[in-house]
């Protein structure tokens, strides 16, 4: 039964009457595919590497903002790094265990603690500016933009805070389904709207200033006879480009909607535990079985499908030059042709899982591993 791996997760977390399951906690029954031999046709190399501390069981994605790179570890340290050479500009200890990746804009860096504390730092020197106590733990990285910080806690409460003072502007409480993934559905703030992925296959667009809903879209419809079979949560961070925003869901679909009104552009039946990638022409997905696929951005028609990384626990894919980059649970970073899906290059990191989505920073690709390596990969 394709849902059986969720059953073995013994440490289901009970929060606000809602059980939460971690799709990454159980080891898959299927063995990871062996790495195939190939002749590289794209040159990649490690430009620099720094050790910033382990991510633990969390997805601690770095962020690139205003020419600087910000990253964090589970024990509560936050670093600001020069992306050109890996030099640490500042490093601070927040004094709390962190549970989500970093959010940032030109002036503000925001992290969240496992106890629900939201802490804002000055982007220039890392000094604490304010703290806010959320209702429960936060697993999704804060979204910072339009003078606002938007966070979503695991009890399905969305809160907007003033980026300068930390005062609460508004909050929205959504009903949580009986069973949900213990995952980090992402938030994007753009042009005065916050786009938030939610359990039960929903995505909502909210006014940053007032919290008023602009639209709500159905990415996936829960199906099945049991609550376990009906888990269809939006997974990972949505991808936004132009008038399209695309999202993935577990045991559901990958779908793209119009940002103006939430109208569905297209959808395909795919179960994914990570978000999609997108560029001017294509939308890319890595499904729960490790298959990497490309779809036409305009129509959703299938372009190619690569099965060489089956059961290797892929990160979300990201467009990088002429390639699509994706990490796996053994610390390998793979590069595939955007146009054809052929394997172009591969580079090893530190052997630990790459769960967080790689980040494009200028001409380089930034990767953070679970064991704490922050690396810049260059393509010659």
Q: How far is CA 88 from the centre of its chain?
A: 24
Query: How many Cβ atoms from other residues are within 10 Å of residue 342's Cβ?
Result: 12
**For residues 346 and 352, what is the distance between their CA atoms, to the nearest angstrom?**
15
Beta-carbon contacts of residue 81 (< 8 Å; ≥ 6 apart): 50, 68, 69, 70, 71, 87, 88, 89, 374
Check residue 221 and give its pLDDT: 84
Q: Any idea which residue has 């580079």 for tokens?
A: 347
Query: How many Cβ atoms from other residues are within 10 Å of residue 279's Cβ?
Result: 16
Helices (H), the chain: 4-7
Q: Any idea which residue has 């991510």 for tokens?
A: 55
Check residue 175 and give its pLDDT: 78
**For residues 250 and 313, what is the distance between their CA atoms, to the nearest angstrom?**
14
**For residues 361 and 120, what is the distance between their CA atoms, to the nearest angstrom?**
22
100 and 140 in contact (C-beta within 8 Å)? yes
In b/e form, how buried is each residue of 191-207, taking b as 16+ CB within 10 angstroms? eebbbbbbbbbbbbbbe
118 and 149 in contact (C-beta within 8 Å)? yes
Identify which of 280, 200, 183 has the alpha carbon closest to the alpha carbon of residue 237. 183
Check residue 334 and give its pLDDT: 98
Query: Do the bridges between strand 18-21 and strand 364-368 make them parallel or antiparallel, or are there none, so unpaired?
Result: unpaired
Ordered mean pLDDT values, 10 residues apiece, the chain (380 residues): 36 40 57 94 97 94 96 98 97 96 96 96 97 94 96 93 97 77 81 92 94 95 79 88 95 95 96 95 97 97 97 97 97 97 98 96 97 96
Identify which of 205, 198, 13, 211 has the alpha carbon closest to the alpha carbon of residue 114. 13
Report the predicted TM-score, pTM, of the whole model to 2 decimal places: 0.90
**For residues 97 and 114, what is the distance between their CA atoms, to the nearest angstrom?**
6
**For residues 83 and 104, what is the distance between their CA atoms, to the nearest angstrom?**
15
Beta-carbon contacts of residue 163 (< 8 Å; ≥ 6 apart): 105, 107, 108, 120, 144, 147, 148, 149
211 and 203 in contact (C-beta within 8 Å)? no
Check residue 1 and give its pLDDT: 40
**For residues 324 and 293, what is the distance between their CA atoms, to the nearest angstrom?**
10
Per-position DSSP letters for 223-246, written without gaps between them: -SSSTTTT---EEEEEEEETTEEE
Residue range 4-379, CATH number: 2.130.10.10
Helix (H, G, I), strand (E, B) or coil at 345: strand
Beta-carbon-side half-sphere exposure of residue 349 (alpha carbons within 13 Å): 31
130 and 107 in contact (C-beta within 8 Å)? no
């Amino acid at each position: 039964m394709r849902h059986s791996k969720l059953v073995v997760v013994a440490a289901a977390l009970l929060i606000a009457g809602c059980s939460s399951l971690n799709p990454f906690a159980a080891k898959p029954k299927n063995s990871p595919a062996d790495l195939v031999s190939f002749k590289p046709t794209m040159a990649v190399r490690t430009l620099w590497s720094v050790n910033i501390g382990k991510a633990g069981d969390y997805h601690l994605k770095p962020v690139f903002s205003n020419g600087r790179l910000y990253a964090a570890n589970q024990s509560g340290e936050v670093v600001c790094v020069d992306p050109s050479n890996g030099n640490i500009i500042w490093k601070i200890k927040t004094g709390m265990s962190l549970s989500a990746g970093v959010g940032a804009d030109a002036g503000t860096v925001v992290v969240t603690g496992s106890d629900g504390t939201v802490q804002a730092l000055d982007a220039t020197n890392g000094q604490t500016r304010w703290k806010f106590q959320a209702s429960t733990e936060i697993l999704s990285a804060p979204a910072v933009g339009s003078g606002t910080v938007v966070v979503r806690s695991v009890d399905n409460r969305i809160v907007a805070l003033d980026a300068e003072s930390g005062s609460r502007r508004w909050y929205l409480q959504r009903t949580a389904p009986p069973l949900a993934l213990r995952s980090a559905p992402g938030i994007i703030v753009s042009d005065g709207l916050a786009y938030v992925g939610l359990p039960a296959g929903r995505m909502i667009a909210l006014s940053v200033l007032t919290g008023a809903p602009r639209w709500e879209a159905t990415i996936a419809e829960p199906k099945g006879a049991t609550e376990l079979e009906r888990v269809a949560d939006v997974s990972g961070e949505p991808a936004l480009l132009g008038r399209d925003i695309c999202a993935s869901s577990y045991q559901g679909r990958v779908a793209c909607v119009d940002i103006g009104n939430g109208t569905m552009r297209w959808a395909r039946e795919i179960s994914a535990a990570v978000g999609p990638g997108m560029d001017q022409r294509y939308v890319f997905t890595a499904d729960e079985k490790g298959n990497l696929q490309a779809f036409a951005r305009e129509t959703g028609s299938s372009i190619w499908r690569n099965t060489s990384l089956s059961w290797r626990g892929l990160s979300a894919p990201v467009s990088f030059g002429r390639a699509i980059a994706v990490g796996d649970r053994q610390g390998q970073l793979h590069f595939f042709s955007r146009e054809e899906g052929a394997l172009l290059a591969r580079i090893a990191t530190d052997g630990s899982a790459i769960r967080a989505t790689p980040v494009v920073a200028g001409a380089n690709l930034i990767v953070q591993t679970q064991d704490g390596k922050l690396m810049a990969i260059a393509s010659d």
